[in-house]
Structure 1
Amino acid sequence: MPASQGINGMFDFRKITPEDLEEQTDALIGKQRTAYNSVGTLPLDKVTYSNVIKELADLMTERSTQGSPLDFPQHAALDKAVREASSKAEQKLEEFDVEMSMRKDIFDRVVGFRDTVGTEGLSAEQKRLVQKLVLHGKRNGLHLSEEIQNEVKKIKKRMSELSIKFQRNLNEDNTKLFFAREELAGMPDDFINELSQGEEGKLEVTMKYPHLFPITKKCHVPNTRRLMVTASQSKCMEDNTPILEELIALRQKQAEVLGYKNHAHYVLEERMAKTPESVAEFLTNLSQKLQPLWEEEKVVMLKFKKEECDKYSYEYNGQLDFWDMRYYMNQVEEKMYAVDQDEASLGVSFSVRQYFPLEKVTLGLFDIYQTLLGLQFTLLPDADTWHDDVKLYQVTDAQTQENLGCFFLDLYPRDGKFGHAAIFPLQPSCVGADGDRQVAVCAMMCNFTKPTKDKPALLDHSEVESYFHEFGHVMHHICSRAAFAMFAGTHVERDFLEAPSQMLENWVWEKEPLTRMSGHYQTSATLPDEIVDKLAKSRKANAGGFNLRQIILGTFDQTIHTRGQADTKALFAQTYKDIMDIEPIPNTNMPANFGHLAGGYDAQYYGYLWSEVFSMDMYDSCFKKQGILNPVIGAKYRQSILQPGGSKDAHDLLRDFLGRDPTPDAFLRSKGLQA
């Protein structure tokens, strides 16, 4: 990897061996331990900003920068042995992190600096770093008895082991089903032709998004959809259910040991929402406002289901089944808004997907972000990467030509790869030990349908939206100018984290961006105006059902982390039934493959809806009024929202950008509700 691009790690995992990962992990831990020991043995009357606070900040930078090439391969490497070694490396590193975070000798020196030397003369960000170091020490119980500290350390190590195991099980899952051609009735020929043949000539499908989503949206055979959704909702159920339920109990135990009522109270102390009560009020109020919309949507979907059952001679049971949801939501888009994502069907003569070849979408997306944020992206064609499909781009400031960092794009599914869409930070943008700023590096992982011999990779509109959203996280990471790794990029309050990316989703519903990102894969024609209009009108389609599902997930997450123990299978089924009045499939347990619950979103999934309040306010009051591609507003957004990272409270970032406190009016209107 070219060091000139500022990438300090090595990301060609085809050359890394399991032995390399083990050796480098042990070396990093040994080096860091020696440095922590030096801080921990300083005489209390000799502590300074340089030998305590700056030293700890530099250690965090080193851990993040050198640790990422060790724990990231588990999500991306082709060799299973390397993935397993990387998972073990992450476990070692996280155990080390827990051990260092629980060192009272370090905590005493941070507190000693604060109380004897003081923070006068430090910058605002330096003062914030000191305050956070003290707070985190207290949240680990370092001001409490040694017995409590040992208990917390033991709990944290076990939780780390379980979280890694939970995600590893999901990454390695390779569930497959086999169907005869007639069982996939309604699926486009192109989709069918790309499926592998398996047992007795049947067609093989996986639970990866490029199979799961199209079949559950387009296949009109109810039993096929039932089997697909059942398999998806059962994924890793036997292995991950006990892991999740042990995690829930451990989180509760830790909270109680530290003097908190429950895990949700513990987590939310550092979030915008502050308390579980404010989260519950937010979710309950929104649910009540959405229920009338959902009742109207159910009537329409049941009407479509009755027509469908009559047409194909299926039994009509007078209710929406769990496996009906995505299918009839798609029918609403096609029949009521004349938007068909795939190909001509149901009397609709238009296919959205044909206008969104991935390469064209990528070029258009790059063009929009470069214009809006004053950036320049350059492909590095000779870069070493972990797979031939992966591309690396350098980002520079268009005006100053300063190198801001690099991002990898890994967009297609493969066995053993991370199965969803996410950004993995690989190197933080912050000031290094030598006083120079190191650039940001990250990887964007998606699972879009691969190109075929006849067609390029084609995206439906929801995938374009997802691409735009995830790339917003890339920009948040790359554009950060925080001084410290603790505050770099997306290290903001979790219930604000999604707001910058959610705001940028609005661009995929507007004419000019859609024109830039579209081009028919055969004719290069851009998306016709009439379809742009239909897409825009379809944005509020299914708003009740879609947002209530988010409320179900947020409510379930809050419930398990306020109660502190749960039969997750029974509780999820009851929560779903209570909010949407639909019975989940018996003997399934979606929470067992709900990666957020073991991936840092515990007691925080509500944040997706919570942060939408801010994303819609920023978009509606600034970009919508002053130009969605206005580089002046884009520069203000980059400066006020992206650059600070977590170096300021999210409320302050919003006030800086909006010029006032945020309001929920635009958010409610976006859901089809009265402000």
Structure 2
Amino acid sequence: MQRCRSCDVISKQETRGARIHHTGSASGKHASVRGGYSKRRHLERGGVSKPVKMTITSGLLISARECSQAGHKRNTQRWDLCPEDIKAATDSLIARVQKVYDDIGSLSIENVSVENTLRALAHAKLDYASSRHVLDFPQFVCPSKEVRSASTEADKKLSEFDVELSMRGDVFERLRALQPQNSLLPEEKRFLDRLVLLGQRKGLHLSKDTQEEIKRTSKLISELSIEFNQNLNEDNTYLTFSERELGGLADSYLNSLEKTEEGRFKVTLEYPHYYPLMKRCHNPETRRKMEAAFHSRCKEVNTAILEQLIQLRAKVADLLGYSNHANYVLGINMAKNASNVSDFLDKFHESLKPVGMKERKYILALKKRECLMRGLHFDGKINAWDLSYYMNQVEQCKFAVNKDKLIEYFPLDVVTEGLFGIYQDLLGLTFAEVQHAHVWHEHVKLYSACDSETGEEIGQFYMDLHPREGKYGHAACFGLQPGCRGPDGNRRLPVAAMVANFTKPRKGWPSLLQHHEVETYFHEFGHVMHEICSKTTFSEFSGTQVETDFVEVPSQMLENWVWEKEPLRRMSRHYKDGTSIPDQLLDKLIASRVANTGLMNLRQVVLSKVDQSLHSSSCADTAEVFAKHCQEILGVPATPGTNMTASFSHLAGGYDGQYYSYLWSEVYSMDIFFSRFKKEGIMNPEVGKEYRRVILEAGGSLDGTDMLRSFLGRAPRQDAFFQCKGLIGSRDTQTA
């Protein structure tokens, strides 16, 4: 989701996953990963909350001990299952949910009722959503490779079961029999209508032979998608370089690297290693080797998987009567069809073209000058391994942002304290660390979130912030338990996890964040808040279970706080002496938000159009499609022999045909920020609480458009979006 901001060569959407998805959910839609199974009570459960003191706007200190502590026992997640436990629990969960579906399917049509069908199904879905994640989440975070493998196999089995559930024609017919009911509450009617719609989108109105073909193909799609991402998670490629080959990199970076027996530095392809090198290393050959390796991760195996996925998705779309997969998945999004997405991307592309041309010309001049100064051959073009490096120089030359100095003011602990304080004050919450919590790794922390006025616990969240072998390599929010009503009518405690890969503290150096990492932190934590603030009736609508092209709106909107002076001061202090960022440096940072606007956003257009192209076809050469769009739109060729799409996890993680959603959502997120928060106060608690109530608590129980109209008091507009991009002068205010 490309904002006008720091100069990463690739978008943050490649470096993070806003949320994690299953590709074959029981709902028939790409649902956020959920789950958690507790067969026996864990002895460590029931720890007490440790106070987390935060400075609030008035200057007073508050203690999270004020929170009610009784609720955290409702977090049923456990993380000590061995492979055999995972297998047994998976089979038990499937059997339990299967029985409910069988019971509903065996009802005679005339005996169908809201209680024995709709509510019974809702309770089963809640059980499934609450009991799943402890089985399929460990594949992303568990230190044990054996457990990760068992979790992956559980995910495959559950994903196949998702397909089976979504193809239950007997349950579908009984749901349709309920539709004439006129006594349903609004969210009940929405739930019923959604289930019927999803059944139709699975072809349950078609012949049995066609349904079986769709089922077989959907199961294969789920299995291949899981394998695609497993390959990336298990990749442990590294390159070695001498100190001379790493010229230009700070001592803090070099001190974070392991060395070989020969004394060479080991540089992995994990983000804390890759991106700083690509931005700062003077040696173009080092950058070339790293970029080629990074965009060749799992190239052979994942290219084959992705190209097979494209064919299989096109096949299912054809069986269902759609012209292509893109039009199929877009049918339940805000955009509605591929033509609207194409128009949106084309208009944005046209606005950015002249800006991109100017930026390429300037970068080429920077490269020519540096080649002359360093005695390097000037080849007269911008290569893929040049882009991050010279975009970083643009910030230094045009905005004089000293990244080496800036990073010293963003130690992770200070950023976390400031981020927590801002979110607490804005949304009316209080966070407390849960002591002696049951977690999957010693570096993971669990927090309780309470309403600051009532003291009621509203949710819990885990924080897993540093890289390790076998861990999910991006930044993402994982929903673990939904925040909805249970069978007893009481709200269930939502639980989420934020997973990131920020630099580890090492050899006397604290974990220091680049500003773009602070932005990523704010973004993913925005998803966490969306998950735990949810107050829906049904798990189907809990948290981030909204339209895919709306799901990024809440988290993108909150990124704006890392470009405002007051919040930046709250989340920064020098790691040595605790001093504040100098005003001059802070002003330069904020001014740099529009740096590289053209190229950064053109990169987003490239990725969105690549995704649309691949999923508007029945087959594709993925490397060729990516190279074509890179050259035509970005004006920078893809490195021969690489294939970025083989590591583009969004294409196998729920954003297939929907990557445009990041730009589409940003239209709305900017409108929310500039129209309400910027006008009424970025730390205005009344606006923040209204935002929590109207946008976050509603989850997917309302359409995104309706939530926007309610919060904005009008139809959304595009002018704030173009203002942020630095393009407002050439655009009139438009209704989105």
Verify same fold: TM over 0.5: yes
TM-score tier after normalising by the smaller chain length: over 0.9
Say which SS state the counterpart of residue 315 (structure 1) adopts.
coil
The alignment's C-alpha RMSD in Å is: 1.0
What letter is aligned with 1:564?
Answer: S
Equivalent positions of 1:90-489 (< 5 A) are 90-115=155-180, 118=181, 120-198=182-260, 200-341=262-403, 343=404, 351-489=405-543
Instruction: Pick closer, same or farther for the CA change 1:6–1:256 going to 2, 3 Å.
Output: farther
Partner Cα separation in structure 1 for residue 512 and residue 254 of structure 2? 15
Partner Cα separation in structure 1 for residue 625 and residue 514 of structure 2? 34
8 Å CA contact 1:7–1:441 kept in 2: the answer is no
Partner Cα separation in structure 1 for residue 276 and residue 96 of structure 2? 49
TM-score (norm 1): 0.97
CA-CA distance at 1:312 after TM superposition: 1.3
8 Å CA contact 2:307–2:620 kept in 1: the answer is yes
What letter is aligned with 2:416?
Answer: T
Please name the residue that 1:18 is paired with: 83
Say which SS state the counterpart of residue 385 (structure 1) adopts.
coil
Say which SS state the counterpart of residue 205 (structure 1) adopts.
strand
8 Å CA contact 2:75–2:493 kept in 1: the answer is no
Please name the residue that 1:592 is paired with: 646
1:574-604: CA deviation from partner (whole Å, max 9, x where unpaired): 1111101211101100000000000000000
Partner Cα separation in structure 1 for residue 327 and residue 467 of structure 2? 38
1:163-212: CA deviation from partner (whole Å, max 9, x where unpaired): 00001000000011011111101011221122111263221110000100
Of structures 1 and 2, the one with the larger relative CO (CA 8 A, separation 6+) is 2
Greater shift, 198-207 or 622-631, is seen at 198-207
What letter is aligned with 1:5?
Answer: H
Structure holding more helix per residue: 1
CA-CA distance at 1:8 after TM superposition: 4.1
What letter is aligned with 2:608?
Answer: G
8 Å CA contact 1:6–1:405 kept in 2: the answer is no
Aligned-pair identity in percent equals: 50
Say which SS state the counterpart of residue 496 (structure 1) adopts.
coil
Partner Cα separation in structure 1 for residue 331 and residue 567 of structure 2? 39
2:672 aligned with 1:618: yes
Say which SS state the counterpart of residue 656 (structure 2) adopts.
coil
Q: Work out which of the residue numbers 678, 689, 693 in structure 2 matches 1:639.
A: 693
1:526-545: CA deviation from partner (whole Å, max 9, x where unpaired): 22222221111100000100
CA-CA distance at 1:565 after TM superposition: 1.3
CA-CA distance at 1:378 after TM superposition: 0.3
Partner Cα separation in structure 1 for residue 491 and residue 75 of structure 2? 13
What letter is aligned with 1:338?
Answer: A
What letter is aligned with 1:437?
Answer: R
1:487-517: CA deviation from partner (whole Å, max 9, x where unpaired): 0000010001111111100000111100100
2:60 aligned with 1:9: no
What letter is aligned with 1:355?
Answer: Y
Structure 1 segments, 4+ long, off by >6 Å, are none
What letter is aligned with 1:271?
Answer: N
Partner Cα separation in structure 2 for residue 281 and residue 6 of structure 1? 50
8 Å CA contact 2:384–2:637 kept in 1: the answer is yes
Please name the residue that 2:118 is paired with: 53
Partner Cα separation in structure 2 for residue 19 and residue 660 of structure 1? 55
Say which SS state the counterpart of residue 39 (structure 1) adopts.
helix
CA-CA distance at 1:60 after TM superposition: 1.1
Partner Cα separation in structure 2 for residue 279 and residue 387 of structure 1? 42
1:35-57: CA deviation from partner (whole Å, max 9, x where unpaired): 11111101111111011011111
2:97 aligned with 1:32: yes
Partner Cα separation in structure 2 for residue 195 and residue 463 of structure 1? 19
1:545-581: CA deviation from partner (whole Å, max 9, x where unpaired): 0000010000000011111210001111011111012
Please name the residue that 1:348 is paired with: none
What letter is aligned with 1:66?
Answer: S
Partner Cα separation in structure 1 for residue 167 and residue 94 of structure 2? 16
Partner Cα separation in structure 2 for residue 126 and residue 653 of structure 1? 18
CA-CA distance at 1:129 after TM superposition: 0.3
CA-CA distance at 1:7 after TM superposition: 4.0
Structure 2 portions without partners, runs of 5+: 1-43, 47-70, 732-736
Please name the residue that 2:6 is paired with: none
Partner Cα separation in structure 1 for residue 430 and residue 74 of structure 2? 18
Instruction: Pick closer, same or farther for the CA change 1:643–1:154 going to 2, 3 Å.
Output: same
What letter is aligned with 2:407?
Answer: R
Partner Cα separation in structure 2 for residue 199 and residue 600 of structure 1? 42
Structure 1 portions without partners, runs of 5+: 344-350
1:369-389: CA deviation from partner (whole Å, max 9, x where unpaired): 000000010001210111111
What letter is aligned with 2:387?
Answer: M
Partner Cα separation in structure 1 for residue 261 and residue 544 of structure 2? 46
Partner Cα separation in structure 1 for residue 134 and residue 295 of structure 2? 32
Partner Cα separation in structure 1 for residue 364 and residue 329 of structure 2? 41
Say which SS state the counterpart of residue 442 (structure 1) adopts.
strand
8 Å CA contact 2:256–2:507 kept in 1: the answer is no
CA-CA distance at 1:462 after TM superposition: 0.4
Say which SS state the counterpart of residue 657 (structure 2) adopts.
coil
Partner Cα separation in structure 1 for residue 319 and residue 74 of structure 2? 41
Partner Cα separation in structure 2 for residue 452 and residue 307 of structure 1? 36
Equivalent positions of 1:500-579 (< 5 A) are 500-579=554-633
What letter is aligned with 2:344?
Answer: F
Greater shift, 425-434 or 189-198, is seen at 189-198
